[in-house]
Amino acid sequence: MTAAGYRVPALIATKRDGGELDEEALGWLVSGYLAGLEGDAVDAAVSEGQMAAFLMAGVVRGFTAAEALALTHVLVDSGEQLDLSGLDGPTVDKHSTGGVGDGTTLLAAPLLAAAGVRLVKLSGRGLGHTGGTLDKLESIPGLRVDLTPDELLRVAAEVGCVVAAQTDRLVPADRALYALRDVTATVESTALIASSVMSKKLASGAGTIVLDVKAGSGAFMPDADAARVLAGLCVRIGVGAGRRCVALVTAMDQPLGTGVGNALEVAECVRLLSAPPAGRLAEVALEIAAAGLSHARGDVDLDGARDELVRRWAAGEALEVLRRMVAAQGGDAEVCERPGEVLPRAPVRRDVTAAAGGWVASVPARAVGELAAALGAGRTRKQDRVDPAVGLQLHVAVGDPVDPGTRVVTVHARDEDAADRAAAAFVDLLAVSDAEIPPPATLLDVVT
């Protein structure tokens, strides 16, 4: 027995046999594992192999909702928490579970700020086929994402929104556990995903949390039903921690926007904010912002919130907030006026056309994301560098009619060989049907 009265093998066996652990036991396990990583031989009660065995037992047997909430609390308590109480107005945080061509943060954040909400968003970098908000922002010359807590609060107070990198002091236990899950095939657990997501959101301090849970071939959750389960658990955790929380379930079988690549996605967001909202990316961003605004105000009038945001969007208020945020974080604010001149441009552009006529049946999100990453827009390892200029500019979506010779994508590449490979690969992955294909729904569900 240990001083806390626990033995690691007994806790692993409890989980292996389908039992439930309380918050004290989970906290003891996690703190013992962190002590081992830090080289504390006296307090290191949990080895890497033991924690891996515990995670595998939980993935196989399942974690309860109570365990997910308890683990979330343990992760939050492992580090510092942001205090947003000094900000004027309701506070909102937004999170997406990851996708392709997903620039919703660059649309929803300034839109919410234009409506009087304060949004402090700690984002990540892209890995694999998914894009990262930080990589997109860093394609803007001069823009800084590594901000201190004081800088975060200053920009949020002055501008209304700020998007920056997560600090090492926030939920360090989640970072340690995720690294272990990544190499032990224990990522795919709804409870572990929910506790990982929500621990970061709770530690970020916002009173209202709005989640965009992706479903489809380009997402963690393969279908809408699985995404609804994850969304429901995240909402339960958020509400259980005393926050207002809402989750949207959205489709990620095809890229959400037309740009897939960092500078291309920033340029698309600027273009969208320069006119009334239109298109799939704008639709999702507007619904995220409307859900966040209505919940932050404690107002059930979602339609009223949406109408207000449409007016602010069309009047250019959100674009102005984005301009101010870029400037406050050291970036070239002229990107909001002249994105084509400010953002980096790839030296080679190659148009690809349809070989046959019909209706677009599939533009697979994961394959498109992987193709953009192969051009240099993404990374396969965290230490890889990205090329901000390269990527894919899509000209068609599922359900669109095409004729032979219709332009379907423009490849932005660093050299001719890379452009040739990407063009040939895109022709192979684009599916065209002889039968008419109806455009699929983008917003699949709202979980409150």
Q: Which of 15, 200, 244, 295 is catalytic?
A: 200
Q: Which of 15, 136, 181, 366 is catalytic?
A: 181
Catalytic option among 195, 196, 204, 294: 196
The number of CA neighbours under 13 Å toward the Cβ of 392 is: 37
Selecting among 174, 212, 253, 387, the annotated active-site residue is 174
Tokens of 38: 């830090």
- Which of 271, 274, 268 shows the shortest CA–CA distance to 314? 274
Determine whether 384 is an active site residue.
Answer: no
Residue partners of 49: CB distance under 8 A and separation at least 6: none
- Cα–Cα distance, 396 to 109 (Å, whole number): 27
Pairing mode, if any, of strands 208-215 and 161-165? unpaired
Known active-site residue 181: yes
Q: Which sign, positive or negative, has the C-alpha torsion 67, 173, 248, 185?
A: negative
- Give me the phi and psi of 34, to 5 degrees please: -65, -40
Catalytic residue among 15, 94, 95, 306: 95
- Is residue 164 within 8 A of residue 150, CB to CB? The reply is no
Q: Give yes or no: 174 in active site.
A: yes
Listed in sequence order, the residues at least 6 apart from 96 whose beta carbon sits closer than 8 Å to its beta carbon are: 102, 104, 105, 211, 212, 214
Name the residues annotated as catalytic. 95, 174, 181, 196, 200
